[in-house]
Amino acid sequence: ASSVAMLRTFALALLGLGLVQAASVHLIDSNRNAYLKSGQTKISKSGLSGLTAGLTGLLPAHEIDAESAQQIDSVLKPSPLTKPKCHVALNVAGLSDEDVAALFGARQRVPAQLDDDQHIADAMVELLTDLASANPDVSVYMLDQAAVEACNEGEDCMQQHLGGVAQAVGASVDSGVLILDDGVQLTDKLLASELSSFFAGVNSRIEAVNARAEAGSPVEDVQVMEMTMLGLQGLADQQLASSKQAVSQLLSWAVQQLDEAFGGEVTFQVATFDSLPEATPEAAVAWRARARSRMLAAASFPGADEEAQARLFSAKAAGYGAFILLLYFLLAGTYCLCNMPFKRDTLLYGSKKQE
């Protein structure tokens, strides 16, 4: 067991040093393909932030330059009156572009390459943190944090939800270990914990949405969810293929459940990468804890920044007011043109007006 751990640490160290740098971000449309055009793009980090804001209807965290605006227009379909009800950002180490394409099937998918030297996982965390700060009235839910909050006090959180994970991916549990469908035992605690946290977090958010709907409470403009999964990296070869299949199956389960809860109005942003943001498993876990703290700090106490809320309310009110005025004048003009009593003694016919 110690030799396996040493091999995994060595593999993670090589990946963390950047010997493998394959990374990409995939924007995935709703199941009715209402928001994204086809194609692919290379975009800056600030441009991707603006693209995410435009897709979800949120305020951008940074000023958008002309080049980024052109890139955004080439990707987004014009949809001023409808926006997704939920946007899910997933950062998954170890998945390939082909895995993402197979996961989302016929949905419109726009692969984007970041024109930035920063590690893609750090860039995605920074993007969501900035969006949360710029939109204090929008909640950003970290699914692993939601899983911790959903755990019963005094129980092992991972063990509490491992049975649900097994049911979702067609596996079983024996003595607290996940037995995958081909008989492989998932002994890696990091990946097992991530699978349990993701399953519990998604269930927790769906239960909250359903409870809010049953109570007749106002629906949020858009919900943003986030999860980072690093456990696939550095697994032993005999576990890797089965574990990747389990991750894909659980993601597929989550897509189906979220679509059902939000009426299909769910978009996804999936970042895949082969190099970890840190060199060792322990450092990677610590990195994830720091990232969670940053996003929690940005998303906490949404009512504290009154000036930002006032700007947000003013922008939305001005937008709605301008649209209503334009609609009113358009309808009034159409009515007048349809009902104006044109006669032959008017100047419209090129003759003098008769008394």
Dist CA 125 CA 142 (whole Å): 11
pLDDT tens-digit series, residues 224-270? 999 988 888 767 677 788 888 999 999 999 999 999 999 999 999 99
Low-confidence ranges of the chain (pLDDT < 70): 1-22, 150, 152-156, 234, 236, 276-281, 284, 298-309, 341-355
Stated pTM of the model: 0.75
pLDDT tens-digit series, residues 165-219? 899 988 888 888 888 877 888 888 888 888 998 999 999 999 988 888 888 877 7
Domain parsing of the chain, residue ranges: 2-304, 311-349
Question: What is the pLDDT, as a whole number, of residue 150?
Answer: 66
Question: What is the pLDDT, as a whole number, of residue 299?
Answer: 60
Which of 1, 8, 3 shows the shortest CA–CA distance to 237?
8
* Under 8 Å between Cβ of 71 and 36: no
